[in-house]
Structure 1
Amino acid sequence: MFRTLLTASAIAVATAAALPAAAAQPVELVIQYPYGELFNETHAQIREAFAKIHPEITLTYRTPYAEYEEGTQKILREAVTNQLPDVTYQGLNRVRIMVDRGIARPLDGYIAAEKDFEAEGFHQAMYDIGTQNGHVYALPFAISLPITYWNLDLVRKAGGDPANLPTSWDGVIDMAKRIDALGPDVNGISYVWDITGNWLWQAPVFAHGGTMLTADETKVAFDGAEGKFAMQTIARMVTEAHMPNLAQADARATFAAGKTGIYVTSTSDLTKTTNMIAGKFELKTHVFPDVTPGIGRLPAGGNVVMIVSKDDAKLDAAWQYVKFVTGPEGAAIMARTTGYMPPNKKANEVYLKDFYVQNPNHYTAVSQLPILTKWYAFPGENGLKITDVIKDHLNSVVTGARAGEPDAVLADMTRDVQRLLPKK
């Protein structure tokens, strides 16, 4: 049971948090989150809803992090200069580094002191995502999985069947080639390979049952058949389907303008992309290709919320905020304003019970939840550097410079990552 992890001091902190006098004190919380283009409206609605419940707590937002890497680097610097916010949203794969550096505050005591928490949609899987070294340091706010977006108008023009979209990379690339052949103003496919944290590098590796490192985290494991398939597939998009190298914002805009047939990225893009399309063509989302039955998994993307305040007087208020944004009302706001999925059960079963029926494109990622796995974070002091090294090697393929030699690129990437792993 989760409660067996608790210490007496943690329970004492949580008990103090429940006292009415503490809750009534005026408090300002400083908060920072990533990806303003995706989450600004979400947090605006959350602030309004939270104020109705906790008028004594003022929420002050810093300028959003551009992306997860910037958010992590900024928190690491602010921990040194004593300029941390009170609450930060970080990528799911960044819990490890925040705990290792002693920045994230544990939530065990607060969770244990809550009554009827399970009835409010909280469950063990939510705790597991933010658990490190046996303690909960974060709760998941927004969950995403990789999916494919299809311009059905272009699919029809290329002779495809919108009712039977391909589920294999062979089929996807074949359709991309046919769409690309429609004319010079049309692009067959955009694969957002440079999405934060090597997420769409991990996805095709995990989908075939592979891993990033061996179980003891001493040796690269993506250099086997799974990694070769992943690297060769990305190279085929360039060499066979003539995929251009577009940054995520440009790939999204090009797809929304009706100039790209297939867009492979996170479900988090769905609401923004749908709004940008504005009915110009028929959009359909579909599953991520080639997930091997039984062993294939897909990495959960998205972000967690964690308390990093150095001011102990703010901890109780920060917990009230964290509890709200990950609870049913906050999670439902997040789901309606983005393409992410809420991990909170009550949000899905009560607040959003009709949402997925009315918005089937949002259900694609939900249908893939049974194959969800953790977004991998590399260990040690060089964890973030490894992410950059992998990105640089993938860049050499997608730019076309080394698209014709994917196996050699994988070998070089393996060598460079291996050098940066901790020595045990």
Structure 2
Amino acid sequence: MKHLLSAAAAATLLAPAAHAVEIEVAYAYSSLFDPTFARIMQAFETAHPEIEVRFRATYENYEDATNTILREAVAGTVPDVSFQALNRQRILVDRGIAQPLDPFIAEETGFETEGYHQAMLDLSRFDGHIYGLPFSVSTPIGFYNMDMLRAAGIDEVPATWPEVIAACKAVKAAGHEAIYWHWDISGNWMLQTEMWSQGVPTIKDGKLNMDTPEGLRALETAQAIFRDCEMKNTGGGDASKAFAAGELGMFFSSTAYVSFVDRSKLGDWEFVTAPYPGQDGAPKALPAGGNAAMMTSASDDPEVRAAAWEFIKFTTSGEGAAAVALTTGYVPPNQKANDLLMADFYAKNPNKMTAVAQLPLLSEWFAYPGDNGLAVTQVIHDGLEAILVGDATDMEELRDEMVEEVNALLPR
């Protein structure tokens, strides 16, 4: 359990308004979202002085978010609003922790005109009911230090993985750290990206769909990145800092890191983002990353639940969603925010436009079904780590082991 509140949380611990209704909110990734919530709270406190928002210590990542709230549900200490990964919503619905938002939406006048378009609402729709409002949506993209690439003789951004591998070898030969592929990002997202980029889902008919040529190629791509490019065994956070410091040629991760690089960039070198590489051409699909605001309140007080709804609605509105784009690299899921930003903001911030251009490719970020979903995530994580550290060298053998172990954990 983390004991320090984030900067955004501390900023909101102000003297409450008279007769204020208090709600508790929790979210993940303080380094990404603290600036976002600080900006949102400036406007929310003005619009709703009757609501006091207390932020809990931030979740370390999305797995931590899910594990924490599952424990809190047993103890009856859940927050009123929890921001959960899109692929982890289902387990909170199945456990009865997440509350349907349909009754609140039904009371809203003109909700359908406030930018909540159907495709985004469907990301949080289960059994015909809406359990969350998407807060941020991401796609995987490529981050490039063009000065470093040009010094290695690479004049154009590589568009396919064979081109990336060739580029990383050239950058290494020039004496620089070449690449980081964010393999351990939450929910096996990058491996799912490699599957979807070939047009193949990671889960099919309730089973791990990697006993296929595409599954083998996904693992072989990871092996080429780790071995042929001599990728360092470090975390994504450290890799993003190294990239921002101008010490890394290519970084493949969530578009969420764009604003971090912009804020932290050291030196006068050209920072460019580009679409995620495909195998033989452009990707055929990409998994939708990001999170949704969910009502997880255990309170029976209608005022508390109404206040929680107001916070969920505000953070996902045009104004709240615009704050997401302004402070991160995420794509606002609210169409009003995108319409507002499109004319000027993206023209001035082309590195954030890359993810927007990839929206037509968005597909499901799979949540592994059943009570062992988090365990499945760990099995796949361990398989990738075995490649990284050199414990696994035969990708066909590793693939078969992963398929057998994962399918034994999935519901029959």
TM-score (normalised: structure 1): 0.90
Distance 1:74 1:292 in 2: 41
Q: Mapping of 1:13-412 within 5 angstroms?
A: 26-161=20-155, 164-183=156-175, 186-215=176-205, 217=206, 219-290=207-278, 296-313=284-301, 314-402=304-392, 404-412=393-401
Task: Give the C-alpha shift of residue 293 in structure 1.
Answer: 7.4
Gaps of 5+ in 2: 1-17
Q: What SS does the corresponding residue of 2:202 show, helix, strand or coil?
A: coil
Separation in 1 of the partners of 2:241 and 2:285?
Answer: 29
State whether residues 300 and 374 of structure 1, in contact with CA within 8 Å, keep that contact through their aligned partners in structure 2.
yes
Structure 1 residue 353: deviation in Å? 3.0
Letter of the 1:109 counterpart: P
What is the CA–CA distance in structure 2 between the aligned matches of 1:351 and 1:112, rounded to whole Å? 28
What CA distance in whole angstroms lies between the structure 1 residues aligned with 2:71 and 2:342? 39
Q: Is the 8 A contact 2:245 2:266 kept in 1?
A: no
- Letter of the structure 2 residue corresponding to residue 224 of structure 1: T
2:314 maps to amino acid: F
Which amino acid in structure 1 is aligned with residue 408 of structure 2? R
Post-superposition offset of 1:119: 2.4
Against the structure 1 CA distance between its residues 169 and 291, is the aligned structure 2 distance closer, same or farther, given a 3 Å change threshold? closer
Structure 1 residue runs of 4 or more that deviate by more than 6 Å after TM superposition: 291-295
Q: Kindly state the Cα deviation for residue 209 of structure 1 after the two structures are TM-superposed.
A: 1.1
Give yes or no for contact 1:202–1:299 (8 Å, CA) kept in 2.
yes
The answer as to whether partners of 1:291 and 1:297 remain within 8 angstroms in 2 is no
Quote the Cα distance in structure 2 between the aligned partners of 1:220 and 1:331. Answer: 34
**Residues 405, 282 of structure 1: CA spacing in aligned structure 2 closer, same or farther, 3 A cutoff?**
same
Shift of residue 199, structure 1, vs aligned partner: 0.3
Task: Describe the superposition over 1:344-380 as per-residue Cα deviations: whole angstroms up to 9, x where unpaired.
Answer: 0000102453110000000011110000012100000
For the Cα contact (< 8 Å) 1:95–1:132, is it kept in 2?
A: no
Letter in 1 for 2:299: D
More displaced 10-residue stretch of structure 1: 238-247 or 53-62 = 238-247
**Would you say the 8 A contact 1:209–1:292 is kept in 2?**
no
Take 1:79 and 1:171, find their aligned partners in 2: how far apart are those partners?
Answer: 48
Kept in 1: contact 2:246–2:267 (CA 8 A): no
Q: Which residue of 2 aligns with 1:421?
A: 410
Structure 1 stretch displaced more, 99-108 or 254-263: 254-263
Once residues 422 and 264 of structure 1 are traced to their aligned partners in structure 2, the CA distance between those partners, rounded to angstroms, is: 33
Alpha-carbon spacing, 1:275–1:295, altered in 2? closer, same or farther (3 Å): closer
Q: What letter matches 2:255 in structure 1?
A: T
Cα distance in 2 for residues equivalent to 1:286 and 1:245: 24
**Is the CA contact (8 Å cut-off) linking 1:28 and 1:58 kept in structure 2?**
yes
What's the CA shift for 1:130?
0.6
Q: Give, in angstroms, the shift of residue 149 of structure 1.
A: 0.4
**Separation of aligned partners in 2, 1:51 and 1:147:** 35
CA contact (8 A) 2:277 2:283 kept: no
Paired position in structure 2 for 1:14: none
State the SS of the aligned residue for 2:208.
Answer: coil
Q: How far apart are 1:226 and its partner, in Å? A: 1.3
* CA distance in 1 between partners of 2:241 and 2:213 (Å): 34
Q: How far apart, CA to CA, are the structure 2 residues paired with 1:106 and 1:35? A: 25
CA distance 1:149–1:352, shift in 2 (3 Å):
same
Higher alpha-carbon deviation: 295-304 or 333-342:
295-304
Which segment is superposed worse, 352-361 or 324-333? 352-361
Deviation at 1:251, TM superposition (A): 0.9
Q: Distance in 2 between matches of 1:150 and 1:33?
A: 29
CA distance in structure 2 between the partners assigned to 1:374 and 1:312 by the alignment: 34
Post-superposition offset of 1:25: 6.3
| 8 Å Cα contact 1:150-1:285 kept in structure 2 | yes
Q: SS of the counterpart of 2:297?
A: coil
CA distance in 2, matches of 1:73, 1:79: 10
Q: In 2, Cα distance between the equivalents of 1:409 and 1:270?
A: 34
C-alpha contact (below 8 Å) 2:259/2:327 kept by paired residues: yes
Deviation at 1:292, TM superposition (A): 7.1
Give a deviation string over 1:49-104, Cα, whole Å, max 9, x none. 10111110011001110000011000000000011110000011011000010000
Aligned pairs, how many?
Answer: 393
CA drift at 1:295:
8.2
> Which letter does structure 2 place at the counterpart of 1:149?
F
